[in-house]
Amino acid sequence: MTSRVERCGGCGRQLWLPRQAVAARCHACRSVTSFPSSSQRWAQVYGSVSQPHHNVVTTVPSNYVAAGPGNEEEKNPYRIPTKQNIRTAMRWLAQDCQPGDSLVFHYSGHGSRQKDYNKDELDGFDETICPLDHETEGPIIDDEINATIVRPLPRGAKLHAIIDSCYSGTVLDLPFVCKINGEEYKWEDQRIPTACYKGTSGGIALSFSACSDNQTSASTSAFSGKDVTGVMTSSFIQAVKNEPCLTYGRLLAAMGDAIPSLMPNDTDVIQEPQLSASETFDIFTKQFIL
């Protein structure tokens, strides 16, 4: 999903926004500015527009925007996806979050796992994301991600994470993981009684991940024709673009249906997209709204 630049109606600063945002809270003056025309752009791509308060985003300062596809030669040191820059961006995302805010955290890159030393994982491993400099600075583990962007989430706020990496099923350490089989599903409780609390401060956190904790993920050029994109990211965009008014269950199923056709011909990778959440809900009746 591409970003765009708008002006804050309060202080006039430039605001970097996802294309679907219909309003934004300025990171400097905290005023909220509406952008009516952006809802039309959202409708053209995704087919439906949620209520305005669901699309109010807290804007990211331009110097914290990480490099994306095509920006490998980024010269601004604050835009390179290093461990420190990703940490700074995550802290900024959750800072001063208010009821009514809708936050989105998207990571597409390498992922791994390591031994769980504080015994809060059912499988004995912490899941990680691997910044550009992870070989020298180390990865960012799920405990830190949870503490930074999940636990501070206040009542009335919502976070969606879209994580396209290997071993990413529980990379936000959310309490519940949804297992779906056709039209049936169940929520698996990931909590360990002796471990610290991994939920929010009253808000709702949801994560779509590329695969389960013991699977790897693949990349593809099938979606764009030339640029290499994560298979999960491609399946997510394809599903949301093709089917308006998706429920969470239908979105998860559509991603799973699309992944085999997006896989490179020379791979034997099996990946199943995962949905995890801070609380359980009916995935086939709750509408997906960022």
- Predicted pLDDT of residue 49: 30
Per-residue model confidence as pLDDT tens digits over 72-100: 567 778 888 999 999 999 999 999 999 99
- Predicted pLDDT of residue 183: 83
- Predicted pLDDT of residue 4: 60
CATH number of 60-277: 3.40.50.12660
**What stretch of H or E contains 248?**
helix 248-262
What is each CA distance from 174 to 15, 51, 90, 230, 275, in whole angstroms? 30, 26, 16, 23, 10
Q: Residue 256: CA atoms inside 13 Å, Cβ hemisphere, count?
A: 16
- Predicted pLDDT of residue 189: 95
- Predicted pLDDT of residue 62: 38
The rounded distance, in Å, linking the Cα atoms of 170 and 180 is 15
This prediction's pTM:
0.74
- Predicted pLDDT of residue 182: 79
How many CB atoms neighbour CB 15 within 10 A? Answer: 26
Spell out, as residue ranges, where the chain has pLDDT lower than 50. Answer: 1-2, 37-71
Domain ranges of the chain: 60-277
String of DSSP letters for 132-191: TTHHHH--EEHHHHIIIIITT-BTT-EEEEEEESTT-TTTT--SEEEEEETTEEEEEE--
- Predicted pLDDT of residue 75: 77
Q: Which residues contact 178 (CB under 8 A, 6 or more apart)?
A: 185, 186, 187, 188, 252, 274, 275, 276, 277, 283
- Which residues are tagged catalytic? 110, 166
